[in-house]
Chains A and B, each alone.
Chain A
């Protein structure tokens, strides 16, 4: 581990490795212990099922006083995730609290895949379709999952 890394980050990392969250893997980068390579499996019963989604997670200098920065690297058709992979999740913004952890953030993202919330959208066109024609939206989400999240 890098020198000067807060004990909390070390502890969280150790726990993530020892008891990983089912369906999620988070591995720190070899050269930067604050940067995590995250892989989330699309939850069963959702249009993302069968997909493997890559994310990047970065713990800023102020962590845990400020929230981790998380972004989807794999393209995803989801009303709360925009085309750059940015995620609309309250705990990543104003609802962040230092008592939350990497683990809780990842669980929340997994839950967001199971239950998209088109009323608090980040990707507007996606949200619109999700509200107007849900079955079509889900069809596109499945298609994107096949195209972008099942390749390797």
Chain B
């Protein structure tokens, strides 16, 4: 009977773990992992742990290696001191992750503050460890100092855990871990969204698990599930304890939002610095970080994509008030099609970016790493065009020499521009032709070969010889296109009426193909269709 109850309890515990995303989300192949342990005095040792161990067992195995005692060690991971009864599996600890071991003697001053919350853990520790191996724990009385975070008031007005009946309140000194589902949900969602999710959860089971997503440049080169980590903004070490839990993206992405106590010897740092790691590859060290794609979320409420109408996960959730949702595939197609039509917008603060596909106000994508999802080739093109757009918006010009395109910010009052760091071509700022004295003649075309008699033509002859193909291209452009009267972007008319709209989204000038001036009612009356 007792055995049956135990089995039942065990099963319940497992399902609780699964509910919080602890168990299967980690690609743990065996339950043995090798982790690095760094001490506040600079030592670094590597230890092999079983994921089923609790922290007390970790301390025991560390004590001899670090020449310390179990009572004198505190284990810190991801901004939290881990309580003795916590099991490794719960901590989002991967192969080659780094734990921080603090020798309590180093910071005496925190000893006295423990009282109420600690007794709870103490008794629990004794009970729990005793059941595992009675003989070894006789004199291990955990004299754990409390983490400073337990003394802080919870600053967010959200309930600490979105799922009722959690096991979390029994944990004593430690608040939420950074890897907890509740932390992820709190950071990613507004209170209203959280409420909605809670309703859904109670209605139909567990569904998806929340995750952070990152763009892992190396080695994965794709979007991956990410792990939130924290370090001291001064010494860049992870041996610090947070004074409060992050509760929104601003806390995580803006430096200096959350204070912390750094345990590294001689470090006076007091600010937490959050960063992300890719969960799919074994970490290659502390610099192996990734950029958070904060618009990408697990599709917990099962919203269908606005383009393909399928329900998938993860999805991109735009920042517009309606929080429009697109699946990753459609997001990529959307970005590429906008890029092909050169319809990205140049924003002075954000850079080259896109709004929500519906065109909602204030929905520009602020983290341009999201465009990495387009793949390397498109992203390279995105970067080039973004730079060009930035140059043009800053009042600059692009060197018109075929194949050059160097961005130049010319002097304001001078029409003569020399491509000094590029091909050396000297041209007129106004008509983008070879530099000339006197008025511009736009009908002369825009190839450099048209201005040979200007006397100011200044090109390396070997370069000219190697660019025949470019010349042919330039000829083709000259024959088939007309420049936008406002920004001079060569424009091809591939059918339709004479009413042109500049293809450069930041220009958008309405002009007449026949008059090559602004589109008017007169153009409409006289030669709308030619």
Q: Taking beta carbons and an 8 Å cutoff, which residues of A are in contact with B? A: 6-8, 11, 62, 64-66, 82, 86, 94, 97-99, 121, 124
Given known A64-B307, A65-B307, A97-B359, contact A124–B334 (CB-CB < 8 A):
no
Q: Is the CB of A6 within 8 A of B324?
A: no
Q: Is the CB of B308 within 8 A of A65?
A: no
Q: Is the CB of A124 within 8 A of B358?
A: no
| Apart from A7-B308, A65-B307, 12 more pairs, CB < 8 Å | A8-B307, A8-B308, A8-B309, A8-B310, A11-B309, A65-B338, A66-B337, A82-B529, A98-B326, A99-B306, A99-B357, A124-B528
A121 to B524, CA, bound (A): 9
- In the bound complex, residues from chain A placing their C-beta under 8 Å from that of B338 are 65
A144 to B310, CA, bound (A): 44
- In the bound complex, residues from chain A placing their C-beta under 8 Å from that of B66 are none
A61 to B122, CA, bound (A): 66
A98 to B326, CA, bound (A): 10
Min C-beta distance of A131 to chain B, whole Å? 12
- In the bound complex, residues from chain B placing their C-beta under 8 Å from that of A97 are 357-359
A66 to B333, CA, bound (A): 11
A7 to B528, CA, bound (A): 40
Min C-beta distance of B496 to chain A, whole Å? 8
Contact of A98 among B334, B501, B524, B529 (CB under 8 A): B334
Min C-beta distance of A4 to chain B, whole Å? 14
B525 at interface (Cβ–Cβ under 8 A)?
Answer: yes
Q: Is chain A's binding surface mostly helix, strand, loop or mixed?
A: loop
Q: Is the CB of A99 within 8 A of B529?
A: no
Min C-beta distance of B369 to chain A, whole Å? 21
Q: Is the CB of B334 within 8 A of A65?
A: yes
**For chains A and B in complex, what number of residue pairs have CB atoms within 8 angstroms?**
40
A124 to B358, CA, bound (A): 31
Contact of B525 among A11, A94, A124 (CB under 8 A): A124
Chain A residue with Cβ nearest B521: A124
Min C-beta distance of A63 to chain B, whole Å? 10
- In the bound complex, residues from chain A placing their C-beta under 8 Å from that of B326 are 98
Closest 5 CB pairs of A and B: A65-B337, A98-B307, A8-B308, A99-B306, A97-B358
Q: Is the CB of A99 within 8 A of B308?
A: no
Q: What 1/0 mask marks residues of chain B from 332 to 354 whose CB sits below 8 Å from any chain A CB?
A: 01100110000000000000000
- In the bound complex, residues from chain A placing their C-beta under 8 Å from that of B333 are 62, 65
Min C-beta distance of B519 to chain A, whole Å? 13
- In the bound complex, residues from chain B placing their C-beta under 8 Å from that of A86 are 496
**24 contacting pairs across A/B (C-beta < 8 A):** A7-B308, A7-B310, A11-B309, A62-B333, A64-B307, A65-B307, A65-B334, A65-B337, A65-B338, A66-B337, A82-B529, A86-B496, A94-B501, A97-B359, A98-B307, A98-B326, A98-B330, A98-B357, A99-B306, A99-B307, A99-B324, A99-B357, A99-B358, A121-B524
- In the bound complex, residues from chain A placing their C-beta under 8 Å from that of B528 are 124
Min C-beta distance of B333 to chain A, whole Å? 6
- In the bound complex, residues from chain A placing their C-beta under 8 Å from that of B308 are 6-8, 64
- In the bound complex, residues from chain B placing their C-beta under 8 Å from that of A65 are 307, 333-334, 337-338
Q: Is the CB of B306 within 8 A of A98?
A: yes
Instruction: Tell me how many residues of B have a C-beta within 8 Å of chain A.
Output: 21
- In the bound complex, residues from chain B placing their C-beta under 8 Å from that of A66 are 337
Min C-beta distance of B491 to chain A, whole Å? 16
A94 to B341, CA, bound (A): 12
Chain B residue with Cβ nearest A65: B337
- In the bound complex, residues from chain B placing their C-beta under 8 Å from that of A82 are 529
A124 to B333, CA, bound (A): 37
Q: Is the CB of A124 within 8 A of B524?
A: yes
A8 to B306, CA, bound (A): 10
- In the bound complex, residues from chain B placing their C-beta under 8 Å from that of A98 are 306-307, 326, 330, 334, 357
Min C-beta distance of B472 to chain A, whole Å? 29
- In the bound complex, residues from chain A placing their C-beta under 8 Å from that of B324 are 99
Chain A residue with Cβ nearest B324: A99
A66 to B338, CA, bound (A): 9
- In the bound complex, residues from chain A placing their C-beta under 8 Å from that of B306 are 98-99
- In the bound complex, residues from chain A placing their C-beta under 8 Å from that of B358 are 97, 99
Min C-beta distance of B109 to chain A, whole Å? 59
A32 to B4, CA, bound (A): 63
Min C-beta distance of A38 to chain B, whole Å? 21
- In the bound complex, residues from chain A placing their C-beta under 8 Å from that of B337 are 62, 65-66
A22 to B248, CA, bound (A): 48
Q: What 1/0 mask marks residues of chain B from 317 to 328 whose CB sits below 8 Å from any chain A CB?
A: 000000010100
Chain B residue with Cβ nearest A100: B358
A124 to B309, CA, bound (A): 39
Min C-beta distance of B312 to chain A, whole Å? 11
Min C-beta distance of A108 to chain B, whole Å? 16
- In the bound complex, residues from chain A placing their C-beta under 8 Å from that of B529 are 82
A7 to B305, CA, bound (A): 12
Q: What 1/0 mask marks residues of chain B from 283 to 312 whose CB sits below 8 Å from any chain A CB?
A: 000000000000000000000001111100
Min C-beta distance of B306 to chain A, whole Å? 4
A66 to B336, CA, bound (A): 11
Min C-beta distance of A142 to chain B, whole Å? 26
Min C-beta distance of B511 to chain A, whole Å? 15
Chain B residue with Cβ nearest A98: B307
Min C-beta distance of A127 to chain B, whole Å? 9
Chain A residue with Cβ nearest B306: A99
- In the bound complex, residues from chain A placing their C-beta under 8 Å from that of B496 are 86
A22 to B84, CA, bound (A): 69
- In the bound complex, residues from chain B placing their C-beta under 8 Å from that of A124 are 524-525, 528
**Of residues 507 to 530 in B, which have CB atoms within 8 Å of A's CB atoms?**
524-525, 528-529
Min C-beta distance of A128 to chain B, whole Å? 9
- In the bound complex, residues from chain A placing their C-beta under 8 Å from that of B307 are 8, 64-65, 98-99
Q: What 1/0 mask marks residues of chain B from 473 to 501 whose CB sits below 8 Å from any chain A CB?
A: 00000000000000000000000100001
- In the bound complex, residues from chain B placing their C-beta under 8 Å from that of A8 are 307-310
A98 to B334, CA, bound (A): 8
Min C-beta distance of A31 to chain B, whole Å? 24
Min C-beta distance of A88 to chain B, whole Å? 10
A65 to B525, CA, bound (A): 33
Chain A residue with Cβ nearest B357: A98
Chain B residue with Cβ nearest A61: B337
A62 to B326, CA, bound (A): 16
